Structure 1
Amino acid sequence: MTNSVQLVQAALNGDRVHPAVPHTPDEIAADTVAAVAAGAQSVHVHVFDDEGRQTLAADHVAKVLRAIRASSPHTPISLTTSADVEADPASRLRAIEAWTKLPDLVTANQGEDGITDLCELLAGRGVGIEAGLLSFGDAQAFVASGSARWCVRVMVEPLDADPHAALAQAEAIEELVTGAGIPLGQVHHGDGIASWSVNQRAVALGHGIRTGLEDTPVLPGGRQARDNADCVVAAIAMLDR
C-alpha cells in the first residue's frame, strides 16, 4: 500500500517537448484527473496563452484554474512563477498582483531576482509557497533571506542531467536546509532520467517526490513515458516498494 504521508506531485507541462504535454485549459484539466486517478495528490502546472506561449496573465491563469477545479475540485494546484516566463521582476510582480483567481500554491525559485517580494505578496493573499531550490546557491539564498516563514514546503530540484551529480546536489541542498534548522517538509525531483534517482533517494528518506512530463519524459528504465499518468504510476510503484 502506498505511504500516504509522502506527497506525490505531478508536474504536468512546462517547456518539455513531448507529444502528450498538455497546454490548453481542457488538456491540463484532463491530465489532472488522470494523474490524480494514478495516485498524485497535487499538480504543478504552467499556463499558456492562445499562441502556446507560457504566461502569467490573469485571464489565462483564471481559465486554467477554473478548468482544473471543475473537473478535480479537491486537488491542490501549484502554479509556476518562474522567471523563465517573465524575466523582469517588476513586470512579474505586476502580473501576479493582477491574478483574480488564486492557486493553492506556487513554486518560487529562490535564486531569482525579486523572489522575496513575490513570496511576501502571495503569502499575504493566502497562497502557499513552495520554495524552489534548483542549486546549492539557491539554498544559500533561501536560508539567508528568511523566506522560510512564508513557505509550506521546500522543493529540492537539482537540474544536473547526470544522476550521480544530481544526487550529490540533492544531498548538499538538503543538508544545508536542515542544518539551518528549517523544519519544512521537502519534495525532491530532478530532470530527465536523473529525476528518478533523485526520487528514489527521497523516498528512502521519507520525503515527498514530484514527477511528470515537466521533469522527465522517460520512465525509470529509459522508455518514453506515454503521458503524465504513466510517470505517476511509476512514482507510486517506487513508494509501494
Structure 2
Amino acid sequence: MLQVCPNGPLDHSVPLSPDQLAVSARDAVVAGAEDIHLHPKGPDGADSLEPDHVAAAVRAVRTAAPGIRVGVTTGAWACPDPRRRLDLVASWKVLPDHASVNWHEEGAELVADALLDHGVAIEAGIFSGTDAARRFLAWPSRHRVLRVLAEVVDTDPETAPATAAALLAELEPNERPVLLHGEQGGAWPVLRLAASLGLDTRIGLEDTMLLPDGSEALDNASLVRAARSIFFEHAGSR
C-alpha cells in the first residue's frame, strides 16, 4: 500500500487550505496513492486539531477522492498539552478513517484510547531514536491499531536504511501491518527498503520535496508516480 502525505507541519510550499488539499489528494490518487495522511491547518497555516479545521479538510479530501481512506495527524506540535489534545480529539464531529498517534509523545496512550472510543482507527507512529517502540509494545491495546508507522528520522541517505532495519527489529514482536517511511535525505532510500521488503510505505511533500534524482518535485502526484515506479521495479525482482 502506498500512502500519500500531501502536507505536514510546514507553512509554505505545501497544500494548506481544504481546497488545495482536495486537488492535491485527487491528483495523487490518480497517480497511484491508495491512502491519504493529512495535516489539517488553521488560518495561520499551522497544524490544527480544532474540530472545524479537521472537518473541513477531511470533507474536502473525501469529496475529491471518494473511496480512499483519509487520516489525520494528532501530533503534539499542533497542541502540546496532552489533556487539551485529548479534549479536541473527543470533540471531532466529522471523523477521519484513521489518525496517527506518535508514541514518544506525552499522553499518546490517552489520545489513542480516545480515538478507539470514537471509532477512529489508529496509525501508531514509532519514531526511530526514541522509546516509542518499547512504550507501544507495552500498551495493552496495541493489537487494535490499524497499522504501525515505522518512522525513520535519520535523514542521512547512507545510514537511514540501517536505522530503518534497527527500528523494525525494535518492533518485534508486532502483530499489526507496518508502514515504513523516511524523510528528507532518507525518504527514498527507506522507501526502496520498504518496497524490497514488501511493506507499506508513504511519500509526499511532508517527507520530501525532491524526486529520487534530486530534482524538485512539482507536486505530490509526481512523488507518487516516482514511488510507484520503484514499487514496480522491486515487484519484478521478487
Please indicate, yes or no, whether the TM-score normalized by the shorter chain is above 0.5: yes
For the 8 Å contact 2:79–2:85, the answer to whether it is kept is yes
Residue equivalent to 1:191: 183
Seen in structure 2, the aligned counterparts of structure 1 residues 164 and 144 have a Cα distance that, compared at 3 Å, is: farther
Could you tell me the TM-score, scaled by structure 2's length? 0.94
Does residue 1:15 correspond to 2:15, yes or no? no
Contact 2:11–2:45, Cα closer than 8 Å, also in 1: no
Residue deviations 1:165-187, cap 9 Å, x none?
32222111111213x2x121111
Q: Comparing both chains, which one has the higher relative contact order based on Cα–Cα distances under 8 Å and sequence gaps of 6 or more?
A: 1
1:175 match: 169
Which letter does structure 2 place at the counterpart of 1:119? A
Alignment partners' CA distance in 2, 1:121 and 1:17: 28
The separation in 2 between residues aligned to 1:146 and 1:110, in whole angstroms, is 14
Deviation at 1:142, TM superposition (A): 1.0
Other-structure match for 2:107: 114
Q: Give a deviation string over 1:103-147, Cα, whole Å, max 9, x none.
A: 001111111111101111111222110110112521122112234
Question: For 2:106 and 2:151, how far apart are their aligned partners in 1?
Answer: 18
Amino acid at match of 2:166: A
> Paired residue for 1:104, among 93, 97, 104?
97
Code of the residue aligned with 1:50 in structure 2: it is: P
**Identity among equivalent pairs (%):** 37
Partner in structure 2 of residue 69 of structure 1: 62
Query: Secondary structure of the residue that 1:129 maps to in structure 2?
Result: strand
Number of residue-to-residue matches in the alignment? 232
Match of 1:92 in 2: 85
1:179-219: CA deviations, max 9, x gaps? Answer: x2x12111111111211100101111110111000001111
Provide the rounded CA distance (Å) in 1 between the counterparts of 2:189 and 2:28: 21
Q: Which residue of 2 aligns with 1:57?
A: 50
- Once the two structures are TM-superposed, the CA of residue 39 in structure 1 deviates from its matched residue by 0.1
Residues 1:157 and 1:108: Cα distance change in structure 2 (over 3 Å): same
- The answer on whether the counterparts of 2:192 and 2:230 sit within 8 Å (CA) in structure 1 is yes
Which whole-Å CA distance do the structure 2 matches of 1:117 and 1:131 have between them?
Answer: 13
Q: After TM superposition, which residue ranges in structure 1, 4 or more long, deviate above 4 angstroms? A: none
The 5 A counterparts of 1:1-241 are 7-16=1-10, 19=13, 21-136=14-129, 137-178=131-172, 180=173, 182-241=174-233
TM-score, length-scaled by structure 1: 0.93
Following superposition, the deviation at residue 17 of structure 1 comes to 5.9
User: What SS does the corresponding residue of 2:171 show, helix, strand or coil?
Assistant: helix
Which amino acid is the alignment partner of residue 159 of structure 1?
V
Instruction: Pick which of 85-94 and 50-59 moved more.
Output: 50-59
Could you tell me which runs of 5 or more consecutive residues in structure 2 were left unpaired when the two chains were aligned: 234-238
| Cα separation, 2, equivalents of 1:18 and 1:218 | 15
Alpha-carbon contact 2:128-2:154 (below 8 Å) kept: no
Cα-Cα RMSD: 1.3
Contact kept? 1:154, 1:187, Cα under 8 Å: yes
C-alpha distance in 2, partners of 1:100/1:17? Answer: 26
Gap runs ≥5 in structure 1: 1-6
Where 2:37 maps in the other structure, the secondary structure is: strand
- Distance in 2 (CA, whole Å) between partners of 1:164 and 1:143 is 29
Distance 1:56 1:107, change over 3 A: same
